[in-house]
A and B are shown apart, each in its own frame.
Chain A
Amino acid sequence: MGKYLLRRILQMIPVVLGTTLLVYALVFALPGDPVKAMFGDKPVNEAVAAQIRAEYNLDKPFIIQYLLFLKNALTLNFGETFSGQPVISEIARAFPVTIKLALMAFCFEAIFGVVFGAISGLKKGKWYDSVILIVSLLLISVPTFVTGFVGQYVLGVQLRIFPVTAGSNPGFFDLLMPAMVLGSVSMAYIIRLSRSEISTNIPQDYVRTARAKGMSNTSVTFRHILRNSMIPVVTYLGQDLGALMGGAMVTEQIFNIHGVGYLTYQSILKGEANMVVSIVTLLTLVFVVCNLVVDMLYAALDPRIRYA
């Protein structure tokens, strides 16, 4: 297990380097002048532009720029925004909100996804299986922002169960509806994944062997069918946690939640390339770490992986 962990971490390094390089290159090396972009529609002040170029090392060769950026990133020094705030402190304000939102969405999709998926997979062909399937198909097809509006309109405006927007310092209840909206698509995927995994596991030989031992249907279901079906589901969930943080942008926008996504969006509107690249780098790191955790979980759940 220790060796496996080490190998995975070593394999992670080139991915992290490559990913940050890619993000950096996309922002600073694509055709189009990032400094010009910073000025947006305003006329470019050449003196200021030169100063910015120097500050962000844009006057140096690309690879040096990148290495300096990496060095700064490692010390969490991402520079300053246009208004002079340190980027890192802005991010530090926004991150907890998004983490809260993502974790709530994660719990929502994990619990409901697995429960409905299991019901649907174990009772294939029953009417509620069809209902669950149709609902999950709908959730996948309807984009998050549409689900968000529907929720906002029905639960917020019409029924007044949940607050319509969350505001800058949201509590648990404020985030409940956004979390459900954010987690809805993944929940639908988890339902489908669990269902198909369960139906591939039911006819497996070892399930028959377990029944032949005289085990009751309940214990066969839990110990053999569900236990084995959960391996890919847990993998999916782990990868999704990272994706939820990045995917929160739309939800945060709709519900006016001042998290990372909201910050990114505002920075894009303001043209703060530095902020954007910092956030994306951090989120990518979160994603990569989540993947590593998934690998560990995978190894813990499936003994075959540990020794592979």
Chain B
Amino acid sequence: MASIEETPLLKVDSVDESAPATSMWADAWRTLRRNPLFIISGILIVFIVFVALFPGVFTRENPNYCTLENSLGAASSGHPFGFDLQGCDVYARVVYGTRTSLSVGILSTLIVVFFGSLVGAIAGFCGGWVDAVLSRIVDIFMAIPMLLGAIVVLQMFRTSESIWKVVLVLALFGWVSVARIARSAVLSTKNLEFNTASTALGSTPMRNLFRHIIPNSLAPIIVIATTSLGSYIVSEATLSFLGIGLPTTTVSWGGDISNAQSLLRTDPMVLFYPSVALAITVLAFIMMGDAVKDALDPKSRTA
């Protein structure tokens, strides 16, 4: 049995003043910083964004300057990846393709997150018939596989020259998954006691929504936004690969891969480079999504 000296009696429920104060975000950031997944994907994403913003830093070549005499030319000084069938510089096209993929990904994600969380939050917060109607609409969109839906719509706009058609189509069929997550996040937050407490303090429902419910529902939305960004880039590439995505005049990885398809047996490297660039970009965002999820997961947080 331990003597009194060994177990000095502490003041009941005293506050440990030595520990540093941390908010949820600070806590998440601390977890993130220690996660190798985050460090790797973070570096990759910063690099990718840099390439997308300043492609000129990486290559002097014009990706659209193609001459048939260079067709399938081997790698040479200034053209590290060689030339494709049309005689375009593969390296330059890979570098300039970054901007296309990234802008489609980011724009679709922004739209999807905005509308998805808006609809989800309204459904979850209002409940009742509003929720019932919105949920059925979500079900309807959910029942159409994204690729099929996108194809149906895009085939109508095959002549359009804008990347916005792809962005809007991805958003049209993508918002539902965010809406679902936002709805359940709001629903679970709505019933927490601190909302009742705030109401009893005199807070209005709207104030509760914006001051308490939405900030507390952000974590799962951020997680799905990060992961979705990667998957939208894949979808864009797939649509371009099928020839109904981005206009052929736009430099894009998906389009280049599609064009290089026929070279599989003879010149697979032309196919290889844009594929790797695409895979690395998507991988970076999916890893980032994983890391963010680990950091924001309420289960891993000390309650």
The residue in A19, A32, A145, A200 that gathers the most chain B C-beta atoms within 10 A of its C-beta is A145
Q: State the interface size on chain A (CB cutoff 8 A).
A: 50
B147 → A minimal CB distance (Å): 6
Residue B19 at the chain A interface, CB threshold 8 Å? no
Give the CA-CA distance A199 to B119 in the complex, in Å.
33
Contact A287 B149 (CB under 8 A): no
Residue B259 at the chain A interface, CB threshold 8 Å? no
Q: Provided the pairs A15-B139, A143-B237, A253-B242 are in contact, do residues A268 and B265 lie with their beta carbons within 8 angstroms?
A: no
Residues from chain B with Cβ under 8 Å of A14 in the complex? 136
Contact B145 A143 (CB under 8 A): no
Contact B264 A149 (CB under 8 A): yes
Contact B148 A27 (CB under 8 A): no
Q: Provided the pairs A142-B275, A145-B257 are in contact, do residues A291 and B152 lie with their beta carbons within 8 angstroms?
A: no
Residues from chain A with Cβ under 8 Å of B140 in the complex? 15, 18-19, 22
Cβ contact of A247, chosen from B145, B155, B241, B275, cutoff 8 A: B145
Closest 3 CB pairs of A and B: A246-B145, A141-B283, A18-B140
Chain A interface residues toward B at CB < 8 A: 14-16, 18-19, 22-23, 26-27, 30, 32, 34, 37, 137-138, 140-146, 149-150, 152-153, 157, 200, 242-243, 246-247, 249-250, 253-254, 264-265, 268-269, 271, 273, 276-277, 280, 283-284, 287-288, 291
Interface residues of B in 172-231 (CB under 8 A from A): 230
Instruction: List 6 A-B pairs, Cβ < 8 Å.
Output: A141-B283, A142-B279, A150-B275, A157-B265, A250-B147, A250-B238
**Majority SS at the chain A contact face:** helix
Give the CA-CA distance A15 to B136 in the complex, in Å.
7
Contact A246 B148 (CB under 8 A): yes
Residues from chain A with Cβ under 8 Å of B268 in the complex? 149, 153
Residue B110 at the chain A interface, CB threshold 8 Å? no
Residues from chain B with Cβ under 8 Å of A152 in the complex? 264
Residues from chain A with Cβ under 8 Å of B287 in the complex? 137
A76 → B minimal CB distance (Å): 19
Residue B278 at the chain A interface, CB threshold 8 Å? yes
Contact A287 B241 (CB under 8 A): no
Residues from chain B with Cβ under 8 Å of A273 in the complex? 155
Residue B141 at the chain A interface, CB threshold 8 Å? yes
B118 → A minimal CB distance (Å): 20
Give the CA-CA distance A140 to B282 in the complex, in Å.
9
Give the CA-CA distance A152 to B280 in the complex, in Å.
21
Give the CA-CA distance A223 to B221 in the complex, in Å.
34
Residue B137 at the chain A interface, CB threshold 8 Å? yes
Q: Provided the pairs A27-B156, A283-B145 are in contact, do residues A138 and B137 lie with their beta carbons within 8 angstroms?
A: no
Residues from chain A with Cβ under 8 Å of B244 in the complex? 268
Q: Provided the pairs A18-B140, A249-B147, A268-B155 are in contact, do residues A149 and B271 lie with their beta carbons within 8 angstroms?
A: yes
Residues from chain A with Cβ under 8 Å of B143 in the complex? 15-16, 19, 284, 287-288, 291
A225 → B minimal CB distance (Å): 17
In the complex, what residue of chain B is closest to A239 when comparing beta carbons? B142
Residue B144 at the chain A interface, CB threshold 8 Å? yes
Give the CA-CA distance A287 to B156 in the complex, in Å.
24
In the complex, what residue of chain A is closest to B276 when comparing beta carbons? A146
Contact B264 A153 (CB under 8 A): yes
Interface residues of B in 5-43 (CB under 8 A from A): none
